[in-house]
């Protein structure tokens, strides 16, 4: 996950309403982070989680969007350096 490259790519995808592609990228990113042992409070992992929420929101999948935002809030609260 290169924050500069992926975030700009995701901005383009979301601006174009390409929610499925945005969701694929953000889900892959969080999966890689999880398998690599990155802590949930990592700013890069939280950015991917937040964008996953945006992608679900864009699709109208309110339940999954909410779940992503709850996951993001929990991750932020679990890391005192993030707060």
What per-residue confidence (pLDDT) applies to 33?
93
User: How far is it, in rounded angstroms, from Cα 49 to Cα 27?
Assistant: 8
Low-confidence stretches of the chain (pLDDT beneath 70): 1-7, 79-83
User: How far is it, in rounded angstroms, from Cα 5 to Cα 28?
Assistant: 15
How many residues are present in the chain?
83
What per-residue confidence (pLDDT) applies to 8?
76
Full-model pTM:
0.82
What per-residue confidence (pLDDT) applies to 72?
94
Q: Which residues contact 45 (CB under 8 A, 6 or more apart)?
A: 29, 30, 33, 38, 39, 75
């Amino acid at each position: 996950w290169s924050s500069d490259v992926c975030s700009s790519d995701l901005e383009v995808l979301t601006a174009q309403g390409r929610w499925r592609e945005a969701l694929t990228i953000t889900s892959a990113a969080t999966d890689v982070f999880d398998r690599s042992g990155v802590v949930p409070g990592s700013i890069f992992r939280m950015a991917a989680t937040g964008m996953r929420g945006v992608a679900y929101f864009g699709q109208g999948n309110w339940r999954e969007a909410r779940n992503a935002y709850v996951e993001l809030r929990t991750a932020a609260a679990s890391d005192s350096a993030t707060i």
